Amino acid sequence: MSVLAFLSVTGVRAQGTTTPAVDSVAASSATEVASSNSTSEASSVAPTTTSSSVSEISGVATSSYPTTASSNYTIPSGASSATFPANFSYATSTPYQMNAVNVLTLASELPVPVYYSLTNESAGTRSSICAQQTAFCAKAGCAASGATVKENFCNLETMASRCSCSTGDSNLAYYHWPVAVADCLNRALACSMACASPQVSVAEKSDCQSGCNTMLRSTCGTPGQIAADYETKSASDTPSLTYVQGATAGAAKLGVGAGVGLAGLVFVAGVLLTL
């Protein structure tokens, strides 16, 4: 086989020579590729339409699927009733019940003497509590229609506070006052710390802690809250710090100062101990 014949068969042309058969195959392949590319581009640009799910009516797309709630469920009538199975477990809850206490004798009923008031806290802490107090009062508003907040103050030094309205009561009950809640929580902590006193025996420490939690900590923020009274008529007045329960504030007449302990006496689980 000549060199020219070999080159023709393998598809290689010498310069200046022609191979009609190879040129014909190449042209045919080029045409097929161009046709394929054209079809691919057209299919990628042209939108694909389906007739099964969505149709447009007056420019609004609507689904062709059924619009009923369910094709295999019938909604019962309003008079329908059902019976729970015999082994059905019912979830139950216990309604809140306030444990009323005699605030006049509370100091002697606590498991240990508690010496505490918000004035014990740092200036930064008192400032934060007072800021919350005035903000809560302003936001809560008044119960009576048309009434406005009249007195809203908190003294950073004495923590004397007030939240009153031009007519009627404020919507902010005393047991939700930030000063009262802070007093309750911190007083409960002071009570628990007092239980660690050497005057309280190891055997009595558990009952002491339980008493602090039951009589103070568990009441905080509830209608049965036990806290000192910080409400005064003016910001310059000194709070009485008498124990009050729930929403009853302004109780200086009750007599027993919450900041006053019983020197020389410790009450543990209802038992009076002499130091």
CB 198 within 8 A of CB 184: no
Expressed in angstroms, the distance from the first to the final Cα of the chain is 129
* pLDDT at 19 > cutoff 60: no
Residues 36-73 have pLDDT tens digits of: 554 444 444 444 444 444 444 444 455 555 555 555 66
Identify the residue with better confidence: 18 or 157. 157
* pLDDT at 260 > cutoff 50: no
Distance CA 83, CA 219 (A): 40
**Per-residue pLDDT, 155:** 97
Domain range summary for the chain, segments of one domain joined by +: 1-29, 106-260
Distance CA 159, CA 157 (A): 6
- Burial track 66-98 (b if 16+ CB lie within 10 A, e otherwise): eeeeeeeeeeeeeeeeeeeeeeeeeeeeeeeee
Whose tokens are 């009434």? That residue is 147
* pLDDT at 166 > cutoff 50: yes
Asked which of 15-24, 153-162, 202-211 is least confident by mean pLDDT, the reply is 15-24
Distance CA 90, CA 94 (A): 13
Dihedral angle of Cα 9, 11, 13, 19, to the nearest 10 degrees: 70
**Per-residue pLDDT, 89:** 76
Which parts of 141-230 fold into alpha helices (H)?
A: 178-194, 202-215
Summarize the chain as % helix, strand, coil (round to 5). 35, 15, 50
The pTM is what? 0.58
Question: How many residues would you count in the chain?
Answer: 275
Residues 6+ apart with CB under 8 A from 258: 107, 114, 116, 117, 183, 187, 227, 228, 229, 241, 242, 243
What confidence tier does 80 reach under pLDDT thresholds 50, 70, 90? Answer: confident
Identify the residue with better confidence: 111 or 130. 130
